[in-house]
Structure 1
């Protein structure tokens, strides 16, 4: 018994060390962008040690801490293709009985798979998986809302805006909706604003609510991460569609300052490129054809630019490529309205 106890104590020591390493990584990963970037540089050493611990222990605990740390590394670096490979391999091992199914939470694996499909621009496939896995999340769980956000974003990326709106209403009907943190509720408001931007409802109440929401939507983080880019883009497009020059110029200055202060890192290339494309609309005096031609080189670079990892805290509620098509559509409609107004004016004078 003493011999067995000694072996178990050694195993416990290995598992405790693995757990400590995992929580060190987790603490840094959940804080500000610069902290995430710091831990990202340390991850190779952490992973090497976790691999060694699991090789010695061969226990579920050391497997789990190694598994989630690998997932964190790929998420922080934006290597979502590897996350899809990891989640697929883990799901296969689970079905083969190589992983303790009573201890392993397959919902996390499924969540990461769906999230990786979103970031890899495999929206249609991800949407299918999201529908399949959704039944495993109970509506009373906080994870239900996190999962539904990814589900909604996949619908937005697949241009299924009607489905996205239905998912939004499903979140609102959940009796636990108001128990979410204020920042989480504000994200749902932002999603609704984007849906309303793309497919506006013409009721006066909805239009007034949308206008108030766009102009008062708050910053989500003092660290300027995550949703602030999405907010600036939303506000710019709102004022562009209204052809509110005063409001547009104010947002234009905001775009310039934000790019100078927060979008210098190569990992934020997609946001940098799209900001420049939006600035072109003002520079080219809102002429759609000129904007389309001048922005073409930027658009080609945007199409091949990689998605930023979580270490850089960016998210695209609607892919920038789709938003650019929407922007050009706004410009064409404004030109058509101006032409019609000029024609009507000439007819009246005549």
Structure 2
């Protein structure tokens, strides 16, 4: 019995070591973007250590710490295809009984799979999975809202905007909606504002709410880290659609400053490219043909650019490629309106 106890104590010591390493990674990952980038340099050592501990112990605890740390690393560097593989392998092992089915929460694995499909630009495939897994989340759980956000984003990225409105409505009708943190409720407001912008035929009351939100939300806020680019872009497009030159120039300066201060890392290439495309609309005096021609090389680079990892923070609520198509549509509408106004003025002078 003493020998058995000694082995169990040794096993427990190794599990405690794995747990300590796991929480060290977890604590570093919640800090600001710069700290998370520093963590990327340390993660290979942490993972190697956890791998060795799991080979020695082969317990559920060491498996779990290694599994979550692997997912965290791939998420941080933006390797979402690998996350799809890890979650698929884990699902298979769970089905075959290789993982403790009573202890392992499969909902987390399902969530990570769905989220990886979103970030891997597999929106249609991910949307099917999201619909299938959604029944496993109870509406009273805080995880229900986190999952619904990803489900909502998949619908938007798949351009199923009516479905996205339905999911938004489900979030608002949930009796626990008001108990979310204010930051979470503000994210839902931002999501709704993007949808209203895409579907501009919405009721005048909704459009007034939209205009109020766009004009009052801060250009930059640490509370909205990860969504600052989305806010700046939305404000720019709002003033572009209104052809409010004064407001547009103010947001133009905001875009330039934000790019200089916060988008210098190579991992933020997609945001950098899209900012330049928006700036081109002003340089080309809002002429749609000229804007489309001058931004063609930037658009090709944008399509080829990889999605940034979670360590770099900025979220595309609507893919930049879709937003650029919307921007060109706005420019064409403005050009058509300007031509119609000039023709009307000419007719009035003749009469």
Cα offset, 1:222, TM superposition: 2.3
Deviates more, 1:193-202 or 1:48-57: 193-202
Equivalent residue of 1:85, what SS?
A: helix
TM-score (norm 2): 0.98
Q: Tell me the residue number matched to 2:158.
A: 158
Q: 1:151 to 1:326 in 2, by over 3 A?
A: same
Q: Is the 8 A contact 2:183 2:224 kept in 1?
A: no
Q: 1:132 to 1:224 in 2, by over 3 A?
A: closer
Q: Tell me the residue number matched to 2:192.
A: 192
1:302-331: per-residue Cα shift (whole Å, max 9, x none)? Answer: 000011101101110000000000000000
Deviates more, 1:87-96 or 1:214-223: 214-223
1:279 aligns with 2:279: yes
1:50-78: per-residue Cα shift (whole Å, max 9, x none)? Answer: 00100000100000000000000000000
Q: 5+ residue gaps in structure 2?
A: none
Q: Tell me the residue number matched to 1:257.
A: 257
Q: Tell me the residue number matched to 2:112.
A: 112
Q: Tell me the residue number matched to 1:89.
A: 89
1:348 aligns with 2:348: yes
1:178-216: per-residue Cα shift (whole Å, max 9, x none)? Answer: 110110000000000000000024422111111001111
Cα offset, 1:219, TM superposition: 5.8
- CA distance, structure 2, for counterparts of residue 223 and residue 191 of structure 1: 16
- CA distance, structure 1, for counterparts of residue 155 and residue 200 of structure 2: 17
- CA distance, structure 2, for counterparts of residue 47 and residue 132 of structure 1: 32
Q: 5+ residue gaps in structure 1?
A: none
1:38-61: per-residue Cα shift (whole Å, max 9, x none)? Answer: 111100100010001000001000
Q: Tell me the residue number matched to 1:28.
A: 28
- CA distance, structure 1, for counterparts of residue 136 and residue 200 of structure 2: 33
Q: 1:31 to 1:310 in 2, by over 3 A?
A: same
User: CA RMSD, aligned part only?
Assistant: 1.1
Q: Tell me the residue number matched to 2:7.
A: 7
Cα offset, 1:2, TM superposition: 1.7
- CA distance, structure 1, for counterparts of residue 132 and residue 177 of structure 2: 23
- CA distance, structure 2, for counterparts of residue 219 and residue 244 of structure 1: 17
Q: Tell me the residue number matched to 2:179.
A: 179
- CA distance, structure 1, for counterparts of residue 233 and residue 341 of structure 2: 28
What is the aligned residue count?
350
Q: 1:140 to 1:4 in 2, by over 3 A?
A: same
- CA distance, structure 2, for counterparts of residue 281 and residue 261 of structure 1: 22
Structure 1 consecutive aligned stretches of length 4 or more whose deviation exceeds 3 Å: 218-221
1:70 aligns with 2:70: yes
Q: How does 1:1-350 map to 2 (within 5 A)?
A: 1-218=1-218, 221-222=221-222, 225-350=225-350
Cα offset, 1:279, TM superposition: 0.1
Cα offset, 1:295, TM superposition: 0.1
- CA distance, structure 2, for counterparts of residue 294 and residue 219 of structure 1: 27
- CA distance, structure 2, for counterparts of residue 251 and residue 286 of structure 1: 15
